[in-house]
Structure 1
Amino acid sequence: MIEKKMIEALINFYNHSFTIIDKDEKLIYWSDRASEIFNLKHEDVIGKDIKEVFSEDQLLILESLRENKSFEKKRHKATPDIYVDIKAEPITVDGEVLGAVVSEVDVTSQIKKEKEMEALKSKVDILSDNVKHLNNDNHFKNIIYKSSIMENLKNQIEKAAHTDANILITGETGVGKELFAQAIHKTSGLRGDLIPLNCGAIPNELFESELFGYDRGAFTGANKEGNKGKIELAEDGTLFLDEIGEMPLDMQVKFLRILQERKYFKLGGKKEMTTNFRLVSATNKKITELLSSENFRSDLLYRINVINIHIPPLRERPDDIESLFYYYLFQLSDKYNTDLMYADQELLRQIREYEWPGNARELINVVERLVIFSNGSTLDNDIFHQYLQEVGQSHNIPAYSVPAGDIELKEYVDRLEADYIRQVIENNDHNIEKSAAVLGISRPTLYSKIKKFKL
């Protein structure tokens, strides 16, 4: 009796869980720590078939008993809150297997510390990226990048900016073409201002007055003093025409004359004016698309496209996605006066792998949503998943990645299988017959897997 008590005291002295089964797979020993981890009392488990207590596919101790072999599993998720390292050994006497024992070492605190270190590293990355850009050349301070592609683009801009050649910036919607126009203007050293005009936002009937300005009495309702146009305001500076592909066709002829002769008349004006400005244009259309269009003059395109600055989309420069993510996270946390939250590796992986059709404009909106709706110290991955479903892109993100910790192949395959079955069932509105047909299995087999994976 004393020996038994001493053994139990020794077992419970360490913060390890121990479970023993006999050759009939019945539980004959259940340590105090096992009771704490699984919230099951001794009287609830002793004498029972272990398969009645736990799902068979989760029991390493059974494999050890049946195969007479030792098994180990690292960082097994025993409960939603507890991770353990498992070791199972058969119990043999004179070559006969009489049972098996499994020990479980709680490694939750170790994993928690690693995650805290990961969170700290994430915050250091955010701060270092922001310090880098705060110390960056003032002309490019608002252009956040890490990739060599963007570094080469910056060098190209610096060369082009010191000339008076017309520049056409091309790139998809949301890549930040206006930021690059600002960088070109600042780098050029021109003493005039940068004057922007979005050609797609001005009604055709007002376009001429916006661009050229008008004299007093030019039309009914006109300002009595007349009005300066964008060309006049851009004197000795930069005229930035965004969405130039949307410029009305009749205006293209007039604007081409200005570029050729540097002279124009205001609307309703009789005095010919001279002008001196640097032209930077932008479009989200491809140059080949403009050349083949009946709504854009090729001679104007040749005139404005002396130098082409093409900004690649985010999907072609994944190194910049994380830098931009951290930058926006820092800025928006400050805007909403919230603590800087941690992005785990799975969220960062999915953000890097998403194609971002809306580019930086889309990314900043997603980060803003994450900051507003996440709670605690960690950004909520489900918020990003919900966004992907809203835009119909959830199927474009690989659902699986190599686990951070050690994990047996069987457990990883089970995870993949469970996730795929869940996805198929959801895609078929929980219709078991349809889901089974898609999976190529029978309905009873699908029901069995639903029970096995607790779907």
Structure 2
Amino acid sequence: MGKTNRLPKIQNTQVNFFADNEIRSSDILVSYERWQALLQCKQAFLQDESEDPRRHPYMNQEVAASWIRSRNLGVNPYAVVTSPHMKPDELSKLLDQHRQLIDITNSLAKSFQDLLFSCGYLLYLFDKTGVVLLNEGDWQKFPPLFADQSSRMGIVADEHTEGTTAHELCIRLKRPVQLLGPEHYCIAFQNSIASAAPIKDENGSVQAALVLLSQPLQNPPDEETLKNLSMHSFALTTSMAVAIETGIKLSKTADELCSANKQVAALDNHLRSTTDKLIVVHHTLNATMAFVEEGIVAIDRTGKIIFTNRDGMRILKLRHEDVGKRNICEFLNHDSPLLSLAEKGEIVRVEEHISVGNDRQLPFQIVIRPIINHETNELNVAVLKFISAEKAAAKASVKTNGMAVHTFADIITESPELKKTLALAKRFAASAENIMLTGESGTGKELFAQAIHNVHRPQGPFMAVNCAAMPRELIGSELFGYEGGSFTGAERSGKAGKIELAHGGTLFLDEIGDMPLELQAVLLRTLEDKQVMRVGGNRYKKVDFRIIVATNKDLYKMVKESQFREDLYFRLSVLTINIPPLRERSGDIELLVKHFIERYCERHNWKVPQISPAAQKKISEYPWPGNVRQLQNAIIHAVNTAQGDLIKPENLPNYILVDSCPVKPDELSDTSKKIGEILCLEKLEKAAIEAALLHANNCPRTAAEVLGISRSTLYRKLKDFKIDY
């Protein structure tokens, strides 16, 4: 390997450019500074096999992983593929198979021919295996290596042959990808920008990739040219890919083909009359949003509606001329937090009631996706997706593992204790270390686990396993999977385990203290080697996942008692978060009671009842050993048993009333106490008066009737016993 010139050392700026785990174009991502930093990283990587590009602050993790795979595959970065891998008859058969795709792409390419070739672009169409189906452009502008080539059709350019490329990552990630020059593994392309967009079939599977490759830029590249070229080529590639997908769909039948020809002709005339590529993006967005079944509404920072698809117009009963004139706040309650949540810049889901005209309010779940200006850190646009309450409930009823739906925004608290825990969890979430969640049952450990996952690896799977909820003999096959025929009842084709399915995401092990000792050793080995072998298998498979465990037991005590492996304990508890019980969260009980009542009544379209002071007192004084989960169940019981618009103490579950009684049945059988202390007449009389007041909601007249005494007698005893009401 030849030596390369060392670039000047640049400042190592620790900026998280890839917080959303996407490869895309932006002003920051295509800066001259990043280009030079990537070039330095590339040179170090090629010269030193121990260099890990994933640690470089400017590197995208998917690109870095591809570099490593390319090197492990033995790809020569100084060579490119120039000869077809396929025989003529094989290539002819493949081209016939993709004829419709090639023809539509070729037709669209001719519409853009003047624009593409005047800018020096090369246009590629790859099938999903990396075979070049179509290429257009002037190879004379590229290095001498390509000067004598007129076509690369039939060449297989995948990660095994050319290493990291935009189309390879695009097909792998199923989304648009843009690579700056130094991000290419192949040195021949390290001065060019490549933009790739997937072309999907009607089932959403990637069948091809469209690529625009710029001519080599001057080295070093001009900052303004770099930014403009990356933005325009990325937008143009994405728009063309969407147009190709639309063309394929419209050509399925004769009627659709006729309609497609008219639309392509209309689009062709329109594209020829303008040089502004952003207009193309805008029209393509409109066409794409028409296929989305939910209502999509885009608003600016003031709430003004700047875009909506067809379903969004139907939900809000808008006309085309209303767009740009109406405000989303017109349809929301006056205290709606929607705009304030959007300004925070986090993707959240809220429940709102939409009011349109004189119609009754209709419940919707609204997913808020803010777009933040990277220079001002202020909200530019927020995209809202409206999901009807019925549809959301139907989706929720299908219990799907592999998806984390909760974020930190879903954790409701005013407690300083829990806020401190939340701050710690958010800080730990940004790390890649293992996390242990401790706390009593019902405190929300899985809620914390999902929230941490949605910060660290939101695009990956979230696989949850409750180690206490399944038979001991099944935990191994559930975690590690099994090969076909490994045991009686096993599926013939075998089954992947939760660890294997968590690749690229998070494995959540609840009740880790109940994991059998013999499996703890296997789990420890998997965590150390990042490899997993199925039950009955004979080969290891590499896995990349983050593990979060939860327990309500004292694991350290179990380690001392040889009930839990010490080495596994220290491996899992790198970062530990203790979630406080509900009784220690000052101020949260009343807040949660109000939230649970309103949420439950909204779901059933019931009038929201009030809670009496006496009932609230009982709830606040109860220790809640089952924590938030127990409180939610108690509120559901109270709402369903309440008569009228008021929840009274008698509407609470019996265990709360029994535990709050001054003289409990078990005290009567307690031989350690004197019967005189227990059955003290004064104590029992005071307890009876307090119980009657509680039943009567602090109304003395009703309480006197319940006790069978006069009101004057009751008032006297209230004074004697110093009872406030």
User: What TM-score results when the alignment is normalised by the length of structure 1?
Assistant: 0.58
- What is the aligned partner in structure 1 of residue 78 from structure 2? none
- What is the aligned partner in structure 2 of residue 103 from structure 1? none
How far apart, in 1, do the equivalents of 2:496 and 2:652 lie? 47
- What is the aligned partner in structure 1 of residue 464 from structure 2? 196
The verdict on how the C-alpha distance between 1:227 and 1:395 changes in structure 2, with shifts beyond 3 A counting, is farther
How far apart, in 1, do the equivalents of 2:566 and 2:577 lie? 18
Q: Is the 8 Å Cα contact of residues 482 and 495 (structure 2) preserved in structure 1?
A: yes
- What is the aligned partner in structure 2 of residue 420 from structure 1? 687
Q: 1:281 pairs with 545, 549, 552, which one?
A: 549
Aligned-partner residue type, residue 325 of structure 1 = V
Q: After alignment, is 305-314 or 315-324 more displaced?
A: 315-324
The verdict on how the C-alpha distance between 1:289 and 1:389 changes in structure 2, with shifts beyond 3 A counting, is farther
The verdict on how the C-alpha distance between 1:424 and 1:386 changes in structure 2, with shifts beyond 3 A counting, is closer
How far apart, in 2, do the equivalents of 1:453 and 1:259 lie? 69
Residue 616 of structure 2 corresponds to residue 348 of structure 1? yes
User: What TM-score results when the alignment is normalised by the length of structure 2?
Assistant: 0.37
Q: Secondary structure at the match of 2:607?
A: coil
Aligned-partner residue type, residue 448 of structure 2 = F
- What is the aligned partner in structure 2 of residue 222 from structure 1? 490
How far apart, in 2, do the equivalents of 1:367 and 1:424 lie? 21
User: Runs of 5+ in structure 2 lacking a partner?
Assistant: 1-333, 349-406, 665-681, 693-707, 718-725
Q: Is the 8 Å Cα contact of residues 507 and 547 (structure 2) preserved in structure 1?
A: yes
Q: Secondary structure at the match of 1:281?
A: strand
How far apart, in 2, do the equivalents of 1:371 and 1:306 lie? 43
Matched residues, number: 291
How far apart, in 1, do the equivalents of 2:431 and 2:711 lie? 67
How far apart, in 2, do the equivalents of 1:306 and 1:209 lie? 26
Residue 381 of structure 1 and its aligned partner are, at CA, apart by 2.0
Residue 648 of structure 2 corresponds to residue 372 of structure 1? no
Residue 663 of structure 2 corresponds to residue 383 of structure 1? no
Residue 130 of structure 1 and its aligned partner are, at CA, apart by 8.3
Q: Secondary structure at the match of 2:624?
A: coil
Residue 331 of structure 1 and its aligned partner are, at CA, apart by 1.1
Residue 418 of structure 1 and its aligned partner are, at CA, apart by 5.0
The verdict on how the C-alpha distance between 1:277 and 1:243 changes in structure 2, with shifts beyond 3 A counting, is same
Q: Is the 8 Å Cα contact of residues 457 and 506 (structure 2) preserved in structure 1?
A: no
Q: Secondary structure at the match of 1:318?
A: coil
Aligned-partner residue type, residue 530 of structure 2 = R
How far apart, in 1, do the equivalents of 2:554 and 2:495 lie? 34
Residue 270 of structure 1 and its aligned partner are, at CA, apart by 1.2
Residue 625 of structure 2 corresponds to residue 357 of structure 1? yes
- What is the aligned partner in structure 1 of residue 433 from structure 2? 165
Aligned-partner residue type, residue 633 of structure 2 = N
How far apart, in 2, do the equivalents of 1:208 and 1:195 lie? 15
Q: Is the 8 Å Cα contact of residues 196 and 240 (structure 1) preserved in structure 2?
A: yes
Aligned-partner residue type, residue 419 of structure 1 = K
Residue 477 of structure 2 corresponds to residue 209 of structure 1? yes
Residue 289 of structure 1 and its aligned partner are, at CA, apart by 2.8
- What is the aligned partner in structure 2 of residue 234 from structure 1? 502
The verdict on how the C-alpha distance between 1:271 and 1:385 changes in structure 2, with shifts beyond 3 A counting, is closer
The verdict on how the C-alpha distance between 1:296 and 1:130 changes in structure 2, with shifts beyond 3 A counting, is farther
Aligned-partner residue type, residue 188 of structure 1 = H
Deviation string 1:300-355 (CA, Å, 9 cap, x unpaired) is: 11100000011000110131111111111111112333210011333223322221
Residue 219 of structure 1 and its aligned partner are, at CA, apart by 1.5
The verdict on how the C-alpha distance between 1:202 and 1:448 changes in structure 2, with shifts beyond 3 A counting, is closer
How far apart, in 1, do the equivalents of 2:442 and 2:610 lie? 26
The verdict on how the C-alpha distance between 1:289 and 1:335 changes in structure 2, with shifts beyond 3 A counting, is farther
The verdict on how the C-alpha distance between 1:345 and 1:416 changes in structure 2, with shifts beyond 3 A counting, is farther
- What is the aligned partner in structure 1 of residue 172 from structure 2? none
User: Runs of 5+ in structure 1 lacking a partner?
Assistant: 1-126, 398-414, 426-446
Residue 424 of structure 1 and its aligned partner are, at CA, apart by 11
Q: 1:254 pairs with 522, 531, 537, which one?
A: 522
How far apart, in 2, do the equivalents of 1:314 and 1:370 lie? 19
Q: Is the 8 Å Cα contact of residues 614 and 648 (structure 2) preserved in structure 1?
A: no
Q: Which has the higher contact order (CA 8 A, sep 6+)?
A: 1
Q: Is the 8 Å Cα contact of residues 520 and 565 (structure 2) preserved in structure 1?
A: yes
- What is the aligned partner in structure 1 of residue 454 from structure 2? 186
Q: Is the 8 Å Cα contact of residues 129 and 323 (structure 1) preserved in structure 2?
A: no
How far apart, in 2, do the equivalents of 1:178 and 1:396 lie? 38
Q: Is the 8 Å Cα contact of residues 499 and 532 (structure 2) preserved in structure 1?
A: no
Q: Secondary structure at the match of 1:240?
A: strand
Aligned-partner residue type, residue 283 of structure 1 = T
- What is the aligned partner in structure 1 of residue 442 from structure 2? 174
Residue 187 of structure 1 and its aligned partner are, at CA, apart by 1.1
- What is the aligned partner in structure 1 of residue 40 from structure 2? none
- What is the aligned partner in structure 1 of residue 408 from structure 2? 140
The verdict on how the C-alpha distance between 1:379 and 1:132 changes in structure 2, with shifts beyond 3 A counting, is farther
Deviation string 1:204-263 (CA, Å, 9 cap, x unpaired) is: 211111000011121122111110100011001000000000001100011111111112
Q: Secondary structure at the match of 1:333?
A: helix
Residue 607 of structure 2 corresponds to residue 334 of structure 1? no
The verdict on how the C-alpha distance between 1:185 and 1:354 changes in structure 2, with shifts beyond 3 A counting, is same
Q: Is the 8 Å Cα contact of residues 166 and 306 (structure 1) preserved in structure 2?
A: yes
How far apart, in 2, do the equivalents of 1:129 and 1:321 lie? 23
State the identity as a percent.
Answer: 36
